[in-house]
Amino acid sequence: MDFLEILIWPLLITLIFSVIMAMISKKKEKVDKGFVLNYHRLSYRRWYIRNLWGLPFIIIVYLGLFVFLDLSKTAYIVLAIALLIFPIELIYNFIKWKKTEQ
């Protein structure tokens, strides 16, 4: 199986699950303290903090993928695009957090 074929199904399932959880949590109050398993129930400040905690793990996983796997050029492009999405999400959550604080 090709890397992209292996990647598509988990991404689709994750996307569908994420959309469902976002719709369920849309009208509920956002939590800023304590443990919450559902990412969509968190405030933007907590989203930002959770993303910062995930940063070292994401870097390790991506370095491992790039160094230890022999992937096709297309797979490297997909991984690079996915890696670029993470800082954009960090910046977005930071801006929304500061905007909701005002």
Cα 50 to Cα 97: distance, rounded to the nearest angstrom:
13
Q: Are 49 and 36 in contact (CB under 8 A)?
A: no
pLDDT in tens, 13-48: 988 988 898 888 887 887 788 777 777 788 888 889
What are the residue ranges spanned by the domains of the chain?
A: 3-101
pTM of the model: 0.71
Q: What is the DSSP string of 27-60?
A: TSPPB-SS--S-GGGB-HHHHHHHHHHHHHHHHH
pLDDT in tens, 45-92: 888 988 898 889 888 988 888 888 887 788 788 888 888 888 899 999
